[in-house]
Amino acid sequence: MGLDVTMVDGVPEFADAPAGRFRGVRQGAKAGVFAGIRFAAPPVGRWRFRPPRPVPDAVRLVDATCFRAAPAQSLPAFASGGGKSGEPAAAIGAALGRAEASEDCLYLNVWTPDVRGRRPVIVWVYGGGFETGSASPPLTDGGALSRLTGAVVVAANYRLGALGFGYWAGVGGPDWAESSNLGLQDQAAALAWVRRNIAAFGGDPGNVTVAGESAGAFLIGALLGAPQGLFDKAILQSGGAGRIFSAETGDVLARALLDAVGVATVEELQAVEVDRILSAQREVIDLDVGRRNLPGGRSWGVVLDGTVVPRHPLEAVGDGSTAEIPLLVGANRDEVRSYRATGGNGFVASDLESLLAEFTRAGVATPSALYQAYRERVGDDADMAVLRESFLTDAVYRRPVSDLAAAQRAAGGRVWASLFSAEPFGPQMGAFHGADLLYVFDHLAALGFDSEANRRVRDELTGAWARFVRDGDPGWDQWDAGARPNARLFGGDGFLVSEPPDDEILRLWPLQRG
């Protein structure tokens, strides 16, 4: 199952690694591709809901010329307002297709300019709300990222939804204590594989940058709180280290899922057809972008379980656990614009009280004052949907990025920040959530906006990434809460911008520092 890369004209490419000898494909002057490499045993049958298990080193030549299936996932994906055509997550689902999804998914792909080199390594962690995504094209075109940065690019699948982020210690007892945050454990296993094997593919095992967007960035944020040694630098786009659910919330979701499926134990759930789990897992969570992501929300994601994630990652960063790991963090100016555009009436706050309640959930002490501050920022004539969009863009994406920068800086670590403001589909959609990926993976021509201005944004953004993964410095001053402007602007007018904006909102709603 998967896309055979030899269908395009190419010649064999070989890599001799500790894990085995692999045959990939080189397509003309493009990067060599090694697709569908198994990095952990299939998590199926009695191994469903269990940590990733190692696979023995191969004794025969391994064919690595076929992209494997995406992780099992429910389609359409989550949405504010519920699965409407045209929303970002639904587009992800349409691109994947159900036939290309499987529980047997723990494979990774490698794109390399030259197996004989020793280049920086980017390990890409895809987003998708912890419920959708894939490490393979068309969603993850590592060849484009490799070409634009000169790095060896690796992308690994990780388990999603209840299969990847169910918390089973409460309903299952001590035997299931290590069976949480399985998607996070999958990424850790893939990173360990990279450390051991990437030199054979032309990568430098001592210069590995983990990079991700949205759920991928939040996963990296969680990795920052775990024992280190898996990577040397990190790039986080539209995500930080604060999206962590309590064990209590995880237990509520686990019990709700058992009830929705109609079983009583985790062992029984292991034997259920996967489609029943995929269907039920969306019944027990919040679908609205605000309700699922603000404190007290219910969604699949990283759980503070005390075992795999021993402490809150933002606290760990604030205590200096990542001080030696340079961070490049960023967000998009209009993250929640696409959710407002597709959510319709379901996105609009029902009344002022419900909007103020969301402010309180986000940790704001004076919600009425914050409401007036947002009125000043977006304009007195803005409706409730626009106000909620601006607030949730901050609460879910931009502020977590700045909180991580503040915690890293306070601990003496190095951190650079950026704000993406290019508008590929014009001002109505703005710099929406995921818009930056259209540039990072060079989808400009395919989507019909291959203009000189957009190519310049692409080259500036990927050029900054290239410098960061190579040297640990993207090319501007480090982020500092007290120095303004303090973040690189990609798209729009100017080189630097203040992030977060230095206005009344910041004074009413201070940054966290771990």
Question: Which of 469, 327, 478, 335 lies closest to 404 in space, CA to CA?
Answer: 327
> Given 3.40.50.1820, 3.40.1190.20, 3.40.605.10, 2.60.40.180, which CATH number is that of 3-508?
3.40.50.1820
Q: 214, 299, 321, 421: which is the annotated catalytic residue?
A: 214
Percent of the chain, pLDDT > 70?
93
pLDDT mean across residues, the chain:
92
Encode 146-178: b = buried (16+ Cβ within 10 Å), e = exposed: bbbbebbbbbbbbbbbbbbbbbbbbbbeeebeb
C-alpha atoms less than 13 angstroms from C-alpha of 231 in its C-beta half-sphere: 31
* Annotation marks residue 312 as catalytic: no
**Contact in structure between 305 and 180 (CB atoms under 8 Å):** yes
Q: Give the least confident one: 21-30, 143-152, 249-258, 330-339.
A: 21-30
Is 86's pLDDT higher than 50? no
Give the CA radius of gyration of the chain. Answer: 22
Check the CA dihedral 483-239-106-165 and report its sign.
positive
Give how far Cα 87 sits from Cα of 105, 131, 398, Å. Answer: 25, 15, 20
> How is the chain split into domains, by residue range?
3-508
pLDDT digits (tens, 9 = 90+) for 367-417: 999 999 999 999 988 899 999 999 999 999 999 999 999 999 999 999 999
User: 32-38 and 107-112 as β-strands: parallel, antiparallel, unpaired?
Assistant: antiparallel
What DSSP designation does 381 have? T
The Cα–Cα gap between 112 and 23 comes to 13
Residue 311 has pLDDT above 60, yes or no: yes
Per-residue pLDDT band at 115 (split at 50, 70, 90): very high
Contacts of 400 (CB under 8 A, 6+ apart): 218, 221, 239, 240, 241, 242, 243
How many angstroms separate the CA atoms of 412 and 421, rounded?
Answer: 29
**Residue 206 DSSP SS3:** strand
443 is catalytic: no
**Tokens, residue 311:** 């402490």
Our answer to whether residue 273 is catalytic in this structure is: no
358, 418, 433, 499: the catalytic one is: 433
| Distance between CA atoms of residues 398 and 505, nearest Å | 13
Which of the following is catalytic: 13, 87, 131, 335?
A: 335
Comparing CA positions, the residue from 447, 422, 439, 475 lying closest to residue 148 is 439
